[in-house]
Chains A and B, each alone.
Chain A
């Protein structure tokens, strides 16, 4: 499958221009197409899908794909019509966010080499063993985790920026780092978070059951907290684990215990596809990304129930502008 990729196993830093110069000799009616390393193409699955399009282009139009040390893919020496088709396919894959640059060869060899002057071939990385994870090691690590090392306390602010309470939550990056040695994936990570939330529930439940202001804690899958003594206790469920059909019933059960229900994990992409603002939850936690800045919240959005999480300075400004609450991550 990957044999079109230049392995470059023998060297660590091969200048791309040197390799291209050899290939450009005798090129007639060919082209080169560049797929830069974009945030819209996430590592792993997304990258492999984009690569599959390039490989298909090579099967049809010839040429070679070079992966650069900067993470870009250069498809070089391909027949021109195939290059144009491949660029169109990549553009559609990225929802029109990019029109991949094309150099006509040999006419624009100079421009191509000028771009390639600063690029190195990527060293070959051993291919991951097809999703294999040391599950026994993962379980041991998960069981050995000190949950208090992973717990962080965030500040909840209302739309005016005034402190409105606290959120105790798991620090995702620390969790990823702690579980990294055995390998992991998004599903295992979500499982780990759920198990930790379950382990922490007795302590966190007591903390949240009484006190001042909003008190948010992670609520494990199909578990209920102890009865709240004062208002403001909030159980947070991730959208990925929320039983959409039964969310209203879950909120009702929590209400009977004096709790509120929050759904976390909403983001710009979720809002694009789902009517998530209409979910029957008391609070909705919206994860910041620059893609949100391009969107205005609908006029009917339940602003008083919305809180922005994981915000940087731009995100904080957006939240203030949108008149919604903010959960400030602990440093």
Chain B
């Protein structure tokens, strides 16, 4: 988990992201030619045919201050100041060679910034190593989750070091007129990878009560893996989503004691609204505990329908974690009036960012914006 990030082959992608950010901030007009090599048949990407493509692209790089970026998925992006002719010439040549203009779209910046940003993001995402998973461990959706499955998992979890399955996702704050700034880092369990590693064939969703218990056991184990005083002190602001019932477990209370008061204020703890349905009294108690301890509290929604269920007073001053979904814009009326309380989760698509910006949301979880954050 401690491999250098970003890897060397991401250097161009990150430089391009930086350029896009600067161009957006300055309103500078540029043209971009995106050669989607990753979508072409393999034989076009090597040998003499590749040389033809490179030659066709060459005019795009003639203007002064033009630059070529190689993305980790093999795509090429040529950027040049807006001068017209050479770019269009290159695009025509590429279109003729490939027989399809869509393989090399010509984009105008800053208008198409989000489109290109999404391409950069997708190229990086496709390059992030995924834990190997063989076909025979792919869960069968029909297999019911049983008490014996739970028992086997609890045994396995007793000794497992879950820090290997810990994923981080950035949350960025974006206010109009300034570049995104990192707000905190969400820590979450890579459940598909853990499930594959545990060789779990059945789906806990088929027995939701057992699934809830499993979730609590995993959270306890995860908190135990995190409870290293030195490591905790080195962590920046973090976010965790925990079952309300986990907060009264020794594993959480131990880590709670390790956090100092100053650090608690930098930890966002999200409680699932599903827990409010299962035990409203326990949920309210746990939430008050978090507030007394000085944590930043968030309510974790599964979607707009959860949001519709809350009374006006329930959210209070807490944050609201709302997952992006294409049908979310239709439910905008349900958003809390103070949009500063909303954290749009999974905002990896330009559509999510665009809608969030329009709605006045300023906290976004997802990699896309991190590409635009000032480099370290």
Contacts and interface: CB of A to CB of B under 8 A. Distances in A.
Contacts of A41: 285
Interface residues of B, number: 48
B212 A49 contact: no
B164 to A, nearest CB: 22
Contacts of B160: none
A273 B151 contact: no
Interface in B289-311: 289, 291-293, 302-303, 305-306, 308-311
Contacts of A131: 216-217, 220, 249
A187 B253 contact: no
B262 interface: no
A182 B148 CA distance: 14
Interface in A147-179: none
A187 B212 contact: yes
Contacts of B154: 135
A36 B154 CA distance: 36
Contacts, number: 146
Contact of A135 (B147, B208, B305): B147
B248 A46 contact: yes
Interface stretch (B58-66, B121-129, B275-283, B367-375): B275-283
Query: Binding site of A, secondary structure by majority: helix, strand, loop or mixed?
Result: helix
Contact of A44 (B213, B220, B248, B253): B248
B285 A49 contact: yes
Interface residues of A, number: 51
B134 interface: no
Contact of A245 (B245, B249, B282, B305): B305
A245 B302 contact: yes
Contact of A48 (B253, B282, B302, B311): B253
A242 interface: yes
A262 to B, nearest CB: 15
B202 to A, nearest CB: 14
A92 B151 contact: no
A44 B281 CA distance: 13
Contacts of A142: 147
Interface stretch (A51-59, A69-77, A207-215): A51-59
B207 A191 contact: yes
Contacts of A240: 209, 277-279
A1 B254 contact: yes
Given A46-B248, A48-B250, A52-B253, A272 B306 contact: no
Nearest to A274: B309
Given A272-B311, A273-B276, A45 B249 contact: yes
A274 B212 contact: no
A56 to B, nearest CB: 7
Nearest to B256: A52
A275 B277 contact: no
A310 to B, nearest CB: 14
A225 B330 CA distance: 35
Contacts of B256: 52
B96 interface: no
A275 B315 CA distance: 13
A269 B209 contact: no
Interface in B249-266: 249-250, 253-254, 256-257
Contacts of A138: 147
B250 to A, nearest CB: 6
B199 interface: no
B159 interface: no
Interface in A270-295: 270, 272-276, 279
B254 A191 contact: no
B55 interface: no
Contacts of A272: 280, 284, 311, 314
B249 A244 contact: no
Given A139-B148, A269-B284, 11 more contacts: A41-B285, A42-B285, A45-B248, A45-B282, A46-B248, A53-B289, A135-B147, A138-B147, A191-B207, A245-B306, A267-B280
Interface of B: 147-148, 150-151, 154, 207-210, 212-213, 216-217, 220, 245, 247-250, 253-254, 256-257, 276-286, 288-289, 291-293, 302-303, 305-306, 308-311, 314
29 contacts: A44-B248, A45-B247, A46-B248, A47-B248, A48-B253, A49-B253, A53-B289, A55-B257, A56-B257, A92-B291, A135-B147, A142-B147, A187-B213, A187-B216, A191-B207, A194-B207, A221-B207, A239-B278, A240-B209, A241-B208, A244-B309, A245-B302, A245-B303, A267-B281, A269-B283, A269-B284, A270-B276, A273-B276, A273-B283
Interface of A: 1, 40-42, 44-49, 52-53, 55-56, 59, 89, 92-95, 130-131, 135-136, 138-139, 142, 185-188, 190-191, 194, 221, 239-242, 244-245, 265, 267, 269-270, 272-276, 279
